[in-house]
Chain A
Amino acid sequence: MEAGRRSTPDTGLGREHVSVIIYYPMLGLLALTVALSSCALSPLAKRSAAFGNAATVVVRDSSNAYDTVERVTYQTGVSFLVLDFDRSGFDRSKIKPFLSIHDLESRQRLLRGLQVYAEGLADVAGTSALVTVDDHSKTLSEALVKLSDNAELKSVFPAANESTVKGIATAIDTLAKILIERKRRKELPNIVGKMETVLERLCGLFDEDIGTRPENGHSGRGLRNQLWNEYDNLIGNQTDYIAISNSRLTPAEKASEIAKLPQLVSQQQSADAALAATQRALRQLVITHRALVQSTDDSSFRSRLYELIGDGEEIAAFYSSLQTKGKN
């Protein structure tokens, strides 16, 4: 107790004076940082992180759209090959991808770019940076506590007790978070704003690529048109197979092959629905992205986002079930 009352050798000040000089400004800094930290994570940062995760789902769905059409085109090519093998042998020209490597690569590159943007947004605006700061601050706090226990240091700086040093660590932690959030608030709106027109153009291009299905005697366009027509061919080829193999099939085998026809019709419709839903998700992505910086009503942004994620997951389940059926 006596040691605590003695004056420090260098300053000649008592412990009470040290408290005034060290503790009070520290408490002031703590109060300020805690007050500032309560509004540290901006709505834009929260929304950006959530949007980044939702966009990842749409990117995956868009990529699946191309894969699905390529797979069905391949299956149809194989079915023509099988039916005509006795007449024309192995005709390589029957197996061709729908898109050339160059065309497909340009689309995949753009999807990868969008994926990088989505992940970057989720990462920069999310809590990962704050968690890392917390980890460092925890280690800093432990190091400071250890330092405050140092007998040599105590002899020259008796005020360095555990609560003080923990307070310093908390202040540094909060300060770092404030600096990060300030940086985000300054830079994120510019980045998101810059991406707005780019995303509109990007989603518009993918929307056009997905196109429309044929209807009422009019041809469609793009992936939906190709998918729909190739399913028509798959159905035609399946009826050919049943007709050709009719005499060799047992009644049960014949029934099983015939049962594949309505399954193909159902797959045609669900695959087209998945492509159409992907188009809607792309359009929704543009609207949700725009709302990142525009909307002040957080609940409407959230509901839009949940809708987007929900649609995205449903579409993904569709594509996944189509892949499973394709393998069977």
Chain B
Amino acid sequence: MGNEADLGVGQTAKDQYQHLHDTLARARETCTDLQARQRLRQEAETVQAVLTAMDQADMASRTSKFEEVAVQVDSVNSSMDKLKAEIAVIIQDVGIAEKVVGAIDSAIAASAKLLS
């Protein structure tokens, strides 16, 4: 409950900054006085820094979860690698048969030369 209440307060504060950002953005589109424009730009930059920091904190709060899931994905990928290796063994067996036949052919040819 405490967290939800904190989130609610955080969202309200963020909404207020967003409202300020929107107001500044509209003012910057229409203002014609150069000095006022400069002040508005500075304000907009400051407000953006706060909004960015809030979004960064929100993103950073999930980083440990991303790391947890990455470990789980690695575990699934290990199972996949195991299956890949088992399939490779079957393929390898056909390859071995191919080599054995080649070796038999060479051996018979060599024996024939020896016995002739």
Q: Indicate whether A and B interact.
A: yes
Q: Which residues of A contact B (CB under 8 A)?
A: 73, 76, 80, 83-84, 87, 94, 98-100, 102-103, 106-107, 109-110, 113-114, 116-117, 120-121, 123-124, 129, 132-133, 136-137, 139-140, 143-144, 146-147, 150-153, 172-173, 176, 179-180, 183-184, 187-188, 190-191, 194-195, 198, 201-202, 205, 208-209, 211, 214, 217-222, 225-226, 229-230, 232-233, 235-237, 239-240, 243-244
The answer to whether A140 touches B55, judged by C-beta atoms less than 8 angstroms apart, is: no
The 10 closest A-B pairs by CB, nearest first: A219-B18, A113-B73, A236-B28, A120-B80, A140-B98, A143-B101, A136-B94, A219-B14, A232-B25, A106-B66
Compute how far the CA of A113 lies from the CA of B71 in the bound complex, rounded to whole angstroms: 9
The answer to whether B108 touches A153, judged by C-beta atoms less than 8 angstroms apart, is: yes
Within 10-25 of B, Cβ neighbours of A (below 8 Å) are at 11, 14-15, 17-19, 21-22, 24-25
Main SS at interface, chain A: helix
**CB-nearest residue of chain A relative to B28?**
A236
Contact of B15 among A73, A219, A232, A239 (CB under 8 A): A219
Main SS at interface, chain B: helix
The answer to whether A198 touches B91, judged by C-beta atoms less than 8 angstroms apart, is: no
Residues of B contacting A73 in the complex (Cβ-Cβ under 8 angstroms) = 52
The answer to whether A226 touches B52, judged by C-beta atoms less than 8 angstroms apart, is: yes
The answer to whether A235 touches B25, judged by C-beta atoms less than 8 angstroms apart, is: yes
Chain A to chain B contacts (Cβ below 8 Å), 21 pairs:
A83-B41, A98-B56, A100-B56, A113-B70, A117-B80, A133-B94, A136-B95, A180-B91, A183-B83, A198-B72, A201-B65, A201-B72, A205-B62, A214-B21, A219-B18, A222-B59, A232-B22, A233-B48, A235-B25, A236-B40, A243-B32
Residues of A contacting B3 in the complex (Cβ-Cβ under 8 angstroms) = none
Task: Count residues of chain B with CB under 8 A from any CB of chain A.
Answer: 66
The answer to whether A176 touches B93, judged by C-beta atoms less than 8 angstroms apart, is: yes
Residues of B contacting A239 in the complex (Cβ-Cβ under 8 angstroms) = 28-29, 37
The answer to whether A191 touches B76, judged by C-beta atoms less than 8 angstroms apart, is: yes
**Chain B: minimal CB distance from A107 (Å):** 6
The answer to whether A217 touches B18, judged by C-beta atoms less than 8 angstroms apart, is: yes
The answer to whether B66 touches A107, judged by C-beta atoms less than 8 angstroms apart, is: yes
Residues of B contacting A117 in the complex (Cβ-Cβ under 8 angstroms) = 73, 76-77, 80
The answer to whether B58 touches A221, judged by C-beta atoms less than 8 angstroms apart, is: yes
The A-B contact count (CB < 8 A) is: 207
The answer to whether B112 touches A229, judged by C-beta atoms less than 8 angstroms apart, is: no
Compute how far the CA of A112 lies from the CA of B27 in the bound complex, rounded to whole angstroms: 43
The answer to whether B105 touches A124, judged by C-beta atoms less than 8 angstroms apart, is: no
- Is B5's CB within 8 Å of the partner chain A? no
Compute how far the CA of A94 lies from the CA of B69 in the bound complex, rounded to whole angstroms: 34
- Is B60's CB within 8 Å of the partner chain A? yes
The answer to whether B74 touches A236, judged by C-beta atoms less than 8 angstroms apart, is: no
**Chain A: minimal CB distance from B102 (Å):** 5
Compute how far the CA of A140 lies from the CA of B103 in the bound complex, rounded to whole angstroms: 12
Compute how far the CA of A133 lies from the CA of B111 in the bound complex, rounded to whole angstroms: 31
Beyond A221-B58, A225-B55, is A183–B76 a contact (Cβ under 8 Å)? no
Residues of A contacting B54 in the complex (Cβ-Cβ under 8 angstroms) = 219
**CB-nearest residue of chain B relative to A220?**
B18
- Is B97's CB within 8 Å of the partner chain A? yes
The answer to whether B63 touches A133, judged by C-beta atoms less than 8 angstroms apart, is: no
Contact of A184 among B34, B66, B83, B109 (CB under 8 A): B83
The answer to whether B55 touches A236, judged by C-beta atoms less than 8 angstroms apart, is: no
**Chain B: minimal CB distance from A173 (Å):** 7
Compute how far the CA of A222 lies from the CA of B51 in the bound complex, rounded to whole angstroms: 10
Within 68-116 of B, Cβ neighbours of A (below 8 Å) are at 69-70, 72-77, 79-84, 86-88, 90-91, 93-95, 97-98, 101-102, 104-105, 108-109, 111-112
Residues of A contacting B11 in the complex (Cβ-Cβ under 8 angstroms) = 219
The answer to whether B91 touches A176, judged by C-beta atoms less than 8 angstroms apart, is: yes
Residues of B contacting A195 in the complex (Cβ-Cβ under 8 angstroms) = 73, 76
